[in-house]
Structure 1
Amino acid sequence: MSRVGIIVVGAVFFAPFVWMLASSLKPSMEVLSSGGSLVGSSVQWSNYATVWTSIPFARIMLNTFFVAATGALLAMVVSLLSAYAFSRLTFRYRDRFFLIFLGSLVLPQEVLIVPLYIMANRAGLVDTYAVLIVPFAFGAFGAFMLRQFLLTLPRDYEEAARLDGAGQIRILWHVITPLLRAPLSVVGAFIFIEYWNSFLWPLIVINSAERATIPLGLQMFSGSAGRTGGR
């Protein structure tokens, strides 16, 4: 592709961000009524101050990053352990258990909401960070990806480490994990984005703005017309 073509494609993808920035500086009454005009009748920098003060936006951003980062890290550890167990360890009905585990991928989140909420409520975890992080850190997506990658790796390194007296934990940490840095990073990125964009589950289990995430905070702001941070 020529340089001109790259610039054109880049401009097309960048245009929505320019429009979003320009719209954020318009008076609120002109956001939808100004037609195709990129610039409003005045530049309202106060719009950003309104958003920042109407809801605890800094706290909400920090909450979102903490939940997404912690959830991704926990999911990476769980996925690594699960993938190693299902690809390298030998135990009865291993493949059947993996198929059952993999079958959880076909269940939509909406099906799990009610039983998860009942368990969280009985455990006293509603409106806590733990209820945002723990339930979806044990999914089969990451375990499946890492297991498929592990099946392509030769066992020579593991056998050499085993001859040197290394146990399962040492082999996993010093031999397997360095070979899985790339797929682990991919799994972590996907799960981080999933936590970051999650809306339905936080909407149900979070009752205070102090623990809200960005999708929930935006709903709180738009639902209250930007005047209050309450739900």
Structure 2
Amino acid sequence: MSVVEAPTATVSLDPPDVPSPGPERHPVRTAVMYLLITVIALGVLVPFVWMVSSSLKNNNEVFTVPTQWIPRDFQWHNYVDIWSRIPMTTYLRNSLFLSLVITFLQVLTGSFAAYGFSKVRWRGRDALFVAYIATIAVPWQAYMVPQYVMLQKAGLVNTFWSLILLQAFGAFGVFLLRQYYLTIPDELCEAARIDGLSEYGIYRRIILPLSKPALASLALLTFVATWNDYMGPFIYLTSNELWTVQLGLKSFVGLFDGDYAMIMTGSVISVVPILVIFLLGQKYFIQGIATSGLKG
């Protein structure tokens, strides 16, 4: 009669694998880094603080030396008088209209083009993308005059259409979104094609929902650039009724002097919409920049 021996369990006395801790941060180096970041942040905020302070002063107190950061007498009425001095409501409405329309069109056209350059295979795709992105390096002043002549002959000068058509497409937006689309696995698109989904369906039902951070980043950057644009409206808009807020502020600049307190007041008012939009979309903006290859 044979006896079957039960298998004996071997117990390892080696210590379990413990993930090695990351590099230890030196407290002095960390403190210096945070101090440097704080100094840089304060330096960036100095012009904004000076602008807010100047908006609450009399005109002859704006450029006093040394700089008076806290006004002696706060001129709160500047924020009331500016609405009667210039048609501020009209300027803000025009800026908001152009910014929203151009932002929508740039996000729409940029997302379409980025999908074609990243998820659709066709001959010459990469070469055309490089050529298209290379247009970013061409200064606007090089083709400013031909653009104006073309729009003048088309009868679009002194209309919003001139700015909308010129800024509805942007190579930077295509680059930003393409870099983000490349992080989305191609297997998702292939599986959708096997299931019979069209390219438009893949773009609308798969790519766009996964690209909210990049879309929000492009929308914010485009909105800010359009809102702050001065040269475009200055060249193509001649009627006061079509002026944006950036053009409207030049009404306070005369031939020999300017009402700089009112200019600062209008500048503060013009910054408020951008500040609100950035605070609302800050999460998506940072996430989109961090994942699209544009990290500094």
TM-score by length of 1: 0.85
Q: Give 1 or 2 for the bigger CA radius of gyration.
A: 2
| Structure 1 residues 150 and 21: CA distance shift in structure 2, 3 A | closer
Deviation of the 1:74 alpha carbon: 0.5
| Residues 3-27 of structure 1: per-residue CA shift (max 9 Å, x gap) | x969x75766555444323322222
Q: Structure 1 or 2: larger helix share?
A: 1
| 2:244 aligned residue | 213
| 1:46 aligned residue | 77
| Residues 164-204 of structure 1: per-residue CA shift (max 9 Å, x gap) | 21111111100111111111111111111111111111110
| 1:229 aligned residue | none
| Residues 8-51 of structure 1: per-residue CA shift (max 9 Å, x gap) | 75766555444323322222122223633334554333333332
| Structure 1 residues 223 and 92: CA distance shift in structure 2, 3 A | farther
Deviation of the 1:220 alpha carbon: 3.0
Residue type of the partner of 2:174?
A
Q: Distance in 2 between matches of 1:40 and 1:218?
A: 22
Give yes or no for contact 2:119–2:186 (8 Å, CA) kept in 1. no
| 2:4 aligned residue | none
Q: Distance in 1 between matches of 2:135 and 2:188?
A: 32
Unaligned ranges ≥5, structure 2: 1-29, 260-296
| 2:189 aligned residue | 158
| Residues 92-135 of structure 1: per-residue CA shift (max 9 Å, x gap) | 32222212211110011222321221121122211222222221
| 2:173 aligned residue | 142
* Aligned: 1:67 with 2:98: yes
| 1:122 aligned residue | 153
| Structure 1 residues 11 and 144: CA distance shift in structure 2, 3 A | closer
Q: CA RMSD in A?
A: 2.5
Deviation of the 1:205 alpha carbon: 0.3
Residue type of the partner of 2:152?
N
Match for 1:222 among 249, 253, 273? 253
| Structure 1 residues 186 and 118: CA distance shift in structure 2, 3 A | same
Match for 1:189 among 220, 232, 253? 220
Residue type of the partner of 1:27?
N
User: For this pair of structures, how many residues does the alignment match?
Assistant: 225
| Structure 1 residues 103 and 223: CA distance shift in structure 2, 3 A | farther
| 1:173 aligned residue | 204
Higher mean Cα deviation, 29-38 or 80-89? 29-38
Unaligned ranges ≥5, structure 1: 227-231
Deviation of the 1:207 alpha carbon: 0.5
* Aligned: 1:76 with 2:102: no
Secondary structure of the 1:44 match is: coil
Give yes or no for contact 1:27–1:41 (8 Å, CA) kept in 2. no
* Aligned: 1:24 with 2:44: no
Deviation of the 1:142 alpha carbon: 0.8
Match for 1:55 among 78, 83, 86? 86
Residue type of the partner of 2:211?
L
Q: Distance in 1 between matches of 2:254 and 2:166?
A: 27
Secondary structure of the 1:97 match is: helix
Residue type of the partner of 2:84?
T
Deviation of the 1:64 alpha carbon: 1.1
Give yes or no for contact 1:158–1:171 (8 Å, CA) kept in 2. yes
Match for 1:110 among 132, 141, 152? 141
* Aligned: 1:198 with 2:218: no
| 2:294 aligned residue | none
| Structure 1 residues 84 and 40: CA distance shift in structure 2, 3 A | closer
